[in-house]
Amino acid sequence: MTQGRQEVLEPGKQRTFFSPSNPCLIDMPECIRLSLRIAPDRIHFLKFILEGYDNLAVVSTLDAPAGIVEVRCPEVLEAELAELLSCLDSAIGRAPHLNAKNG
């Protein structure tokens, strides 16, 4: 396998790849994706809180004016993420999940 190319595996298995900046093999766990609608002025708050929980989740803003964000986390940490999000519901003005998918 050449450096920088992603190894293609069957769905549901861990993916591994070589990073151009780090030629060591890195394991990438399967992730879940949650699309959430939160108060637009609380997007930064959610991002900062999740940054404090190293390797728990990554937040991407999909539509800032509408408050739609995507949260990705490893499947093995889904319960921890769900617990944290439920504790933050009132602080972030969260609406019910728009969708949840693996990816």
What stretches of the chain show up as alpha helix (H) in DSSP? Answer: 43-52, 78-92
Q: Domain boundaries in the chain?
A: 30-102
Third-level CATH fold of 30-102: Alpha-Beta Plaits (3.30.70)
- pLDDT tops 90 at residue 20: no
Instruction: Report the predicted TM-score, pTM, of the whole model to 2 decimal places.
Output: 0.66
* Residues 6 or more apart in contact with residue 88 via CB below 8 angstroms: 46, 49, 94
- Residue type for 44, please? H
* pLDDT value for 82: 92
pLDDT, tens only, 23-50: 554 555 688 999 999 999 999 999 999 9
Pairing of strands 58-63, 99-102: unpaired
